[in-house]
Amino acid sequence: MNTLCSSAPLALSMGDPAGIGPEVIVKAFSMGAAHGCVVFGDARVIAQAAASLHFDPDTLRPSIARMDALDQCSHVPPGTIPVLQVPGIAPGSLHGLVPGQVDARAGAAAHAAIVHGAQVALRGEVAGLVTAPIHKEALHAAGVPFPGHTELLQHLCGGVPVRMMLANDELKTVLVTIHVSVRKAIDAITTEGVLQTIRITHSALQRWGLQSPRIAVAGLNPHAGEGGLFGDEELRIIAPALAQAQAEGILASGPYPPDTVFMQARNTSQRPGTYDVVVAMLHDHGLIPVKYLGLDAGVNVTLGLPFVRTSPDHGTAFDIAGLGVADPASLVSAITLARKLAGLNTKAKGAELSA
């Protein structure tokens, strides 16, 4: 029996079926890296992805087992990908999808898989949710009013405060603002928003085993405003949030120039990082440094949700969808981190119960 699956599987949403999500899912299973996961999506899409790939002679092509209930996963034999046919994705409804093209049907199916995965996670029936990439235009075409996973999952969890983290072995960064224009993002940066981001980051890292996480807060302007010469947001908005966080016993410091703080936080075998995580004001300020270190190891983590959620740090890669050349490394990293965080969260809950 698949012990992980029978006790606490990870839900793995298939992502946009016209992107590389189904392909990297199949590859992760063929490597043995997705053992204990259940795909939430469409069985035919995953089967087509498996059939289209070329495997080495020594690698068995995984078979597909369609399920209609989560508890059926304990009966799936080794070498088989369990796919929970999600309510809202009618069998055959995705026939004729063209890889790499925006399609409202694909957006609707990706949305349905995420919703069902989140609902199951909220009921505690899975250890966490790993989400394959979605396409924002396809979501919009399907009438989904959310620009990405983070906002959708926040809505599904009752509007709880959440933040986006991108992490790899060398660098972790958390964002104050995410999927809005830069012009709107600057207006959205408030003292309360920065403080809330610091609090969420501090609590998450504590749950992951860091008793006193070192949080560096990046500024917004060049040179972190240079004392007000290049903008006053650091003095007027960010510094008061830092002062309050420090008064609460949080080990946060800054604001630091955003063009150098990430180098100081980077942790390597040659030079340990000065900080455990960087809080960045803008989407690209925070994500470019992590992605520059390599997409293969980067993982997107949503902080603040009542369950573990991770995702690869790349998109649907429509330019290579259907070609069989997509790299599953980031998805494998997302699965690995989800398992780790779910285990740490379980231990933390146990400690609380015994205290």
DSSP letter for each residue of 92-128: TTTTTPPTTS--HHHHHHHHHHHHHHHHHHHTT-SSE
The verdict on 267 and 350 lying in the same domain is no
- Per-residue pLDDT band at 354 (split at 50, 70, 90): very low
Which band of pLDDT confidence, cut at 50, 70 and 90, is reported for residue 349?
Answer: very low
Is residue 32 domain-shared with residue 109, that is, in the same domain? yes
Domain boundary among the residues 239, 272, 293 is at 293
Q: Which of 266, 293, 320 is the last residue of a domain?
A: 293
Claim to verify: residue 76 and residue 211 sit in the same structural domain:
no
Within-domain flag for 203: yes
* pLDDT at 22 exceeding the cut of 80: yes
pLDDT at position 213, please? 97
- Between 296 and 227, name the one with better pLDDT: 227
95-99, long-range: CB within 8 Å, 24+ apart, which pairs?
95/44, 97/17, 97/18, 97/45, 98/18, 99/18, 99/19, 99/318, 99/321, 99/322
Is 65 in the same domain as 210? no
Q: What is the pLDDT of residue 124?
A: 94
Q: 300 in a domain, yes or no?
A: no
Total structural domains in the chain? 2
Whose structure tokens read 């007000």?
Answer: 228
Shared domain check, 106 and 135:
yes
Instruction: Say what the pLDDT of residue 344 is.
Output: 56
Q: Please determine, for residue 288, whether its predicted confidence score (pLDDT) is greater than 90.
A: yes
**CA–CA distance, 320 with 233 (Å, rounded to integer):** 41
Percent of the chain whose predicted confidence (pLDDT) is above 90:
80
Residue 214 in any domain: the answer is: yes
Domain of 205, in residue numbers: 169-293
Considering the domain architecture, whether residues 153 and 212 belong to the same structural domain is answered as no
Instruction: Write the DSSP assignment of 187-216 as a string of letters.
Output: HH--HHHHHHHHHHHHHHHHHTT-SS--EE
Across 157-179, average pLDDT:
94
Are 287 and 166 in contact by the 8 Å Cβ rule? The answer is: yes
Q: Is position 271 within any domain?
A: yes
* CATH number of 99's domain: 3.40.718.10
Does residue 188 share a domain with residue 148? no
Asked if residue 336 is part of any domain, the answer here is yes
Does residue 254 sit in the same domain as residue 124?
no
Edge to edge, the sheet with strand 37-41 lists: 63-67, 80-85, 37-41, 10-13, 128-131, 309-312, 299-303, 163-167, 172-175, 277-280, 215-218, 252-256
The tens digit of pLDDT for each residue in 54-106 reads 887 767 778 999 999 998 877 788 889 999 999 999 988 999 999 999 999 99
* Tens of pLDDT, residues 229-269: 999 999 999 999 999 999 999 999 999 999 999 999 999 99
In this model, does residue 163 exceed pLDDT 90?
yes
- Domain assignment present for residue 298? The answer is no
Last residue of a domain, one of 271, 293, 315: 293
The CA distance from 326 to 274, in Å, is 35
Q: Are residues 16 and 135 in the same domain?
A: yes
**Does 286 lie in the same domain as 311?**
no
What pLDDT, on a 0 to 100 scale, did the predictor assign at position 347? 52
Indicate whether 152 and 197 sit together in one domain: no
Domain assignment present for residue 22? The answer is yes
Q: What is the pLDDT, as a whole number, of residue 294? A: 78
CB 254 within 8 A of CB 238: yes
Confidence of residue 351 (pLDDT cuts 50, 70, 90): very low
How does pLDDT run across 113-134, given as a tens digit for each residue?
999 999 999 999 999 999 999 9
What is the bridge-based pairing of β-strands 80-85 and 163-167?
unpaired
Q: Does residue 215 fall inside a structural domain?
A: yes
pLDDT of residue 1: 31
Is the same domain home to 142 and 228?
A: no
Query: pTM value?
Result: 0.87
Query: Would you give the distance in Å from CA 46 to the centre of its chain?
Result: 21
pLDDT for the residue numbered 103: 97
Q: Tens digits of per-residue pLDDT, 299-338?
A: 999 999 999 999 998 899 999 999 999 999 999 999 999 9
352: pLDDT strictly greater than 70? no
**Can you give the length of the chain in residues?**
355
**pLDDT attached to residue 343:** 84
Mean pLDDT across the chain: 91
Contact 185/284 with Cβ under 8 angstroms?
no
Residue 252 to residue 223: CA distance in whole angstroms:
18
Structure confidence at residue 216 (pLDDT): 98
